Amino acid sequence: MNILGIDTSCDDTSAAILSDGGIVLSNVVNSQIKLHHPYGGVVPELASREHIRNISPVVNESLSRANITINEVAGIAVTSGPGLIGSLLVGLYYAKGLALARKIPLVAVNHLEGHILSVLLEDRPPGFPFVALTVSGGHTSLYHVTGQGEYRQMGQTLDDAAGEAFDKVAKVLGLGYPGGAGILAMALSGKKDLIDFPRAQISADSLDFSFSGLKTSVSLFIEKWKGSERKQSEIKREDIAASFQEAVIDILAQKSIKAVEKAGVNSMVVAGGVACNKALRLRLTEETEKRGIAFYYPRPAYCTDNGAMIALAGHYRIMRGEQSGQSEDVRSRFPVEDIKQITTKK
């Protein structure tokens, strides 16, 4: 059974073909990075216009790379939220039209469910239950995952997402958008213990995150640093990048280990765009190894936004006999706990 998965939640137009819930026949991503780069962030109006231009070619490309025709697609999974409304509308309405014309099932998927399950696309996936840390440009959350479709949020960011902090600091350091990869590269030759940026704790047993204080603190530091020749001779740009990255990693590692202990599970997963960060993966590997916790992460192409993870989440739902109707609408906010509301049994 081939499922077409579509994601247009933010600035990537993605489509993938997943066969039998396990084999990714194609995974096409049309990135809009160049378009948004001059603005230092995603411009929603430009993103949705670009999705309109790209959606058809990207879906066609996913079919041709998979070496199948639309007649061989058994169902369509599409992200309906959370994300940018204008961007989501393009994917959802394209999918609705295609499903109607082809008379095949349509299933609306929560983007976060896609990130949580993306690790199951790998050859040696974890079994349930596990704790998933999803870190991206829009989200930073911890989930207790007990099965397909069974997610309990344990913590979330109260302000900015970790990826947003990476992007903002990268912008101030002149690295452009998106900033995650640039900070990682710059941090490699910096001293991570040189500047003690704040690690917001919220409260001792809270699993919530806060990155806006860190973001502001780093920005203010850079402003002062730029205005002082003495500071610039003592501290390199690379040291700021490394010390900032270390602060983010400390917070993410500490809270996710706490979540694993609280949930009483033995496996941990990290997913989402920021999970591409090798320093984060390395720290989580060390921390989990020390405690005998099994640790899993998807390859970078399944960490950043992609259609394959949406196809996988949709595959499970279609297999369970769930379907979405033509009245399905987009949602800018969409907690995973609300997933059950979007699907109806056939």
State yes or no: residue 11 binds Zn ion (CB under 5 A): no
Draw the binding track, 83-122, toward ligand KG4 (x: CB under 6 A; -: no contact): ----------------------------------------
Helix (H, G, I), strand (E, B) or coil at 88: helix
Of the candidates 320, 335, 318, the one whose C-alpha atom is nearest the C-alpha of residue 106 is 318
Taking the complex as a whole, how short is the minimal distance between the CB of residue 38 and ligand KG4, in angstroms? 16
166 binds ligand KG4, rule: CB under 6 A: yes
Span near Zn ion by CB under 5 A; candidates 136-144, 234-242, 249-257, 294-302: 136-144
Residue 137 in contact with ligand KG4, rule: CB under 6 A: yes
Q: Give which of Zn ion, ligand KG4, none residue 276 binds (C-beta under 5 to 8 Å, depending on kind).
A: ligand KG4
Q: What's the rounded Cα separation, in Å, for the pair 218 and 193?
A: 14
CA dist 19 and 185 (Å) reads 36
Minimum Å gap between C-beta 192 and Zn ion is 27
- Look-up: residue for tokens 């590692």? 253
**What span, in angstroms and rounded, lies between the C-alpha atoms of 346 and 344?**
6
3-state secondary structure of 37: helix
Using an 8 Å Cβ cutoff, are 63 and 69 in contact? yes
- Which span sits near ligand KG4 by CB under 6 A: 175-183, 192-200, 211-219, 233-241? 175-183
Phi, psi of 287 (to 5 degrees): -65, -35
Strands (E), the chain: 2-7, 12-19, 23-31, 73-81, 106-110, 130-135, 140-147, 150-156, 267-271, 294-296, 322-323, 344-345
The footprint of ligand KG4 on residues 183-242 (CB under 6 A) is 184
Considering only the stretches 19-27, 98-106, 163-171, 288-296, report the one whose residues sit in contact with ligand KG4 under the rule CB under 6 A.
163-171
Query: Is residue 305 close enough to count as binding Zn ion by CB under 5 A?
Result: yes
CB of 102: closest distance to ligand KG4 in angstroms? Answer: 28
Asked whether position 81 contacts ligand KG4 by CB under 6 A, the answer is no
- Among 178, 190, 298, 314, contact with ligand KG4 (rule: CB under 6 A): 178
Q: What mask, x for binding ligand KG4 by CB under 6 A, covers residues 265 to 304?
A: -------xxx-xx--------------------------x
Q: Quick one: which segment of 27-35, 175-183, 280-288, 297-305 binds Zn ion (CB under 5 A)?
A: 297-305
Which amino acid is residue 269, in one-letter code? V
Residue whose token pair is 């998965």: 5
**What is the SS3 assignment for 160?**
coil
Question: 108 vs 132, 246, 282, CA distance in Å?
Answer: 21, 37, 34
Which residues, in sequence order, are CB contacts of 287 under 8 Å at separation 6+?
A: 253, 257
DSSP 321: T
Distance of CA 271 to the CA centre of its chain: 6
Q: Cβ closer to ligand KG4: 138 or 307?
A: 138
Half-sphere exposure at residue 169, Cβ-oriented, CA atoms within 13 angstroms: 36
Residues in binding contact with ligand KG4, number by CB under 6 A: 19
Q: Residue from 13, 27, 136, 288 that binds Zn ion (CB under 5 A)?
A: 136
Please choose which of ligand KG4, Zn ion, none residue 178 contacts, taking the beta carbon within 5 to 8 angstroms, the exact cut-off set by kind: ligand KG4
- Which CB, 75 or 138, lies closer to ligand KG4? 138
Binding site for Zn ion (CB under 5 A): 136, 305
Binding site for ligand KG4 (CB under 6 A): 10, 136-138, 163, 166-167, 178-181, 184, 272-274, 276-277, 304-305
